[in-house]
Structure 1
Amino acid sequence: MRALLQRVTQASVTVAGEPVGQIEAGLLILVCAMPEDTETTGEALALKISKLRLFKDDAGKMNLSLAQTGGAALVVSQFTLAADTSRGTRPGFSYAAKPDLARALYEHFVVSLQGLGITTQTGAFGAEMSVALVNDGPVTIWLDTQAP
């Protein structure tokens, strides 16, 4: 799975002008399932994200995790994280999991985060969404479970 994490002071998702998910301080997590991913992959990614020390402690150092701060997560499906831009100028998306598998893995990832005690909101899988955020820091982290 691929995930792009953005530490935020607030983030929201709307579909057709209607709010579907919103958080205050925490992480906006854009996530993409790849064809070789499994539920175990999503569980490992959720655990890693819950423990990453991306939030400031009293000394101002990034030393606290999402779980430690009680922050929330806004999880948005984003198949374009699998873009192949190696040829030409139009990205290809054949590296993304097919929609049925992607939906199941996305939903399992969300449940895994919730199971770790993370307050979690979501976008709408497969929908045309508008995402608004205030990036805090800015802090933006790329995770790829297939990376060496």
Structure 2
Amino acid sequence: MLKNMSHDKITEAFETSCEYYYFYIFYKNLCIYSIDLKKDDKEKKNKGNKNETEKLLLGSIYAINYLCFNIQPNKRLKNLYKSIENSNKNLNQSSKRYNQNFDNMQGNLHVGNFNSFNTPLYKLHYFETLTAYKFVLITHKNTPNLSNFLRDIYKTLFLDFVILNPLYQ
């Protein structure tokens, strides 16, 4: 669990509606932060059941990412670009760094292959950073896409209180 992110700050960010159910942050195949945002806290999950749910959720996210990557229509273009890049191994490293920095400046922080998906019971919103942090928010099925909201949480709360904190390990 993240000790540096205040529970109050997170719940403050989500208090605009009661339609949020769960919020997770994953890093390196581990859940580093999770919070149950439901108001009716009738069911208390034991530690084993909670860990099992987190593993299932992370596995589902990997599977959906893989599926979305493999069925996207421009996969051939990506493979073509990859083969061109591999054939030009003698490219100047500084130009690669410039291109990477330029892409990052454009505000395209999301590297996942999907933003959200719906089921008949809930909607899962997803945001993955360039540094492999995965932010997952589970809401009511009729909630609009909140991937930009997750990006804002990353850019404001998470960067300030966790990544830029010298005490965080």
Which structure would you say has the larger Rg?
2
- Higher share in helix: 2
What's the TM-score, normalizing by structure 1?
A: 0.31
Task: Name the structure where strand makes up a greater proportion of residues.
Answer: 1
